[in-house]
Amino acid sequence: MNVIVAGADTDEIAAAIESQGHEVTVLDIANQSALEDAGLETAGALVLTEVAQATAIPVAKELNPDLRTLVYASESLPEFVRGQVDLAIDPALLDADTVAEELDA
């Protein structure tokens, strides 16, 4: 599965996902153009590591309605995006390896 990780990856979620055998594309900024270039239309999941980029979630869901969305950040999600996120996890509660394993579940 192709997984797009967007934002600063201080908790190394991209490496953990890659170690599970997934193809990972890392983006600094998740705008529509970057998401399309990263292959969002055929991606299986989008992982945001910065809540400040939450506006990317509705854009991503519009481009790929079957996309799984995950926010792996310690900040709270804005209200406007909560209903569109499949999973929000605080890195202080689950490490990156555990989260990466759950992508296959």
Tell me: the pLDDT tens digits for 58-104?
999 999 999 999 999 999 999 999 999 999 999 999 999 999 998 87
pLDDT for res 104: 77
Q: What is the CATH number of the domain that holds 10?
A: 3.40.50.2300
Question: How many domains, the chain?
Answer: 1
Q: Please give the residue range of the domain that contains residue 24.
A: 2-102
Chain-centre distance of CA 73, in angstroms?
10
Helix locations, 20-55, DSSP H: 32-37
Which pair of structure tokens corresponds to residue 66? 């079957």
pLDDT for res 45: 98
Task: Report yes or no on whether pTM surpasses 0.85.
Answer: yes
- Residue 15: exposure state from Cβ atoms within 10 A (0-12, 13-18, ≥19): middle
